[in-house]
Amino acid sequence: NLQVLENLLGLEGYSIRRANDGLECLEILGRGEVPDLILLDVMMPGIDGFETCKRLKANPITASIPVIFMTALSEERHQLRGFTLGAVDYVTKPLQEPVLIARIETHLRLQAQRRDLVVARKAAEAASEAKSAFLSKLSHELRTPLTGVLGLLDAAEDGGLSAEDREAMRGSGLHLLSLIDDLLSAARGNLDAMSLSASPQSILPLVRECVATFRPRAEAKGLRFRLDA
């Protein structure tokens, strides 16, 4: 029976790995040879097909492999037990070759679709994580120049803006506008318009910008905020 089935599936172009009993099947799978589908008889030497299926479904590595039972046991209780153990189909002997091939093709196609769904789900999860990280970073980047603008506005209420304060406010506003432009470019998918380049820079202008941004808020809270450079 095994040889007839092997010849039939070979003519259909399938790659076959044969096991003569349940223990040999488990041994093969234990070596990392994971097939796309398993055709499993019930009445076999050693452990029967039901026990073999039970062990397959208990192993996380083999649990998702579709199992089709092929057996002469045609009673409803046997079929119900097979499905309860996790089989996707139950074919009784004598086998009708066109029906068997059709069922194999159907379950292989369904298995491929399940794998595609898993890949798509993982891609969606990765995209969601990337989006969350992007929004978190964006929130931080937008908050910084806004903090500077609000701090300078608070200072203006207390006594007006100096020329230095006005320049700091202008710088914060331009920074915020630049961030919004970059965000809009990314949203349109116009990433080619954005470029990054690394070059040596003096840290002093950056420190001065930070001082100008945060000094008004710090002073409003009675904190000393000074740059020695």
| Residue 186 structure tokens | 């990314």
Average pLDDT, the chain: 83
- pLDDT value, residue 81: 93
> Average pLDDT of 96-112?
91
Confidence of residue 65 (pLDDT cuts 50, 70, 90): very high
Q: CA-to-CA distance for 171 and 152, rounded, in angstroms? A: 12
> Average pLDDT of 179-197?
68
- pLDDT value, residue 128: 82
Closest residue by Cα to residue 41 from 93, 108, 84: 93
- pLDDT value, residue 150: 65
CB under 8 A, 24+ apart: contacts of 78-81? 78/42, 81/50
pLDDT in tens, 128-180: 888 777 777 777 777 767 766 666 666 665 556 667 666 777 777 777 777 77
Instruction: Please state the separation of Cα 206 from the chain's center in Å.
Output: 38
Q: CA-to-CA distance for 184 and 46, rounded, in angstroms? A: 67
Q: What 3-state DSSP class applies to 185? A: helix
CA distances to 21, 57, 134 from 48, rounded to whole Å, are 8, 15, 54
